[in-house]
Amino acid sequence: MQINPPVSFQGVLFDMDGTLIDSEPLWHRHEAELMASFDYTWTDEDQQYCLGGPLSKVGQYMYDKVGKRETPTYFTDALIRRVENDLRNGVLFMPGALELAELVHSAGIPIALVSASPRNLMDAALDGVSLASRFGPELFALSISANDVTKTKPHPEGYIKAARELGIDISQTLILEDSMTGIHSATASGGRTIAIPHYIEVTEASNLRVIPSLENLTLSDLQGLFDSMSA
């Protein structure tokens, strides 16, 4: 029987897109296809600007880029419909993400999923996660979407609410994030943040550590990262 080492952190809060699931290529494809229908070529620079949301920012950006045709809400809603349909057909995970979540869950440490995506997208992704995980829908104790807060990322409300609803001290959590928007949200919340960045450069701070991947992380690794940071 595997014996898990003792840890002092009280919970782990996962970002969804680009941290738990590999959805960024999916978003990029649908962003490019939608903008192509308006004769606009979606570039890597466009994608990087929109990385991490929130979706209202993406919709406004697209609206501005096509000469203010349609409305910002039109672009937001169109993207959501396209991505939701794909997510319900299954999700791809970031390297090591599902294995790490299952490891943390099996140790009895509560996990929450906190996203700037709307509830329907989060639920579609959670359906795919449940199908892939041996713990099914019990893997995540809680999920917080953009619909569950008054201010979404980069505001810290989502992470603060997740810790409160789990009944734990936000300063005793580890938060996993990949985008600059999400990293700002996580560090501002008072949690200890682990960044797994893509396309961006991130500078470590007192409550922020940067790692290249979630692959092969152990509970001892997480404890070491937690201990290296101050709340």
| Total Cβ atoms within 10 A of residue 18 | 23
Superfamily name with CATH number, domain 11-23+91-227? HAD superfamily/HAD-like (3.40.50.1000)
Region 15-22: mean pLDDT is 95
Q: Which of 115, 159, 149, 147 is nearest to 11 (CA)?
A: 159
Domain ranges of the chain: 11-23+91-227, 24-87
pLDDT tens digit string along 124-170? 999 989 989 999 999 999 999 999 999 999 999 999 999 999 999 99
Q: Which of 190, 200, 185 is nearest to 231 (CA)?
A: 190
Cβ atoms of 194 and 177 within 8 Å: the answer is yes
| Total Cβ atoms within 10 A of residue 102 | 16
Specify the amino acid at residue 164: R
Q: Please report the DSSP string for 104-133 in residue order.
A: HHHTT--EEEE-SS-HHHHHHHHHHHHHHS
Q: Within its chain, how far is the Cα of 228 from the centroid? A: 23
| Total Cβ atoms within 10 A of residue 110 | 20
Instruction: Catalogue the E-assigned strands of the chain.
Output: 11-15, 111-114, 142-144, 173-177, 192-195, 208-210
Q: Cα(first)–Cα(last) distance of the chain, in Å? A: 34
pLDDT at 227: 97
pLDDT at 2: 53
Q: Are strands 142-144 and 192-195 parallel, antiparallel or unpaired?
A: unpaired
pLDDT tens digit string along 67-115? 999 999 999 999 999 999 888 878 999 999 999 999 999 999 999 999 9
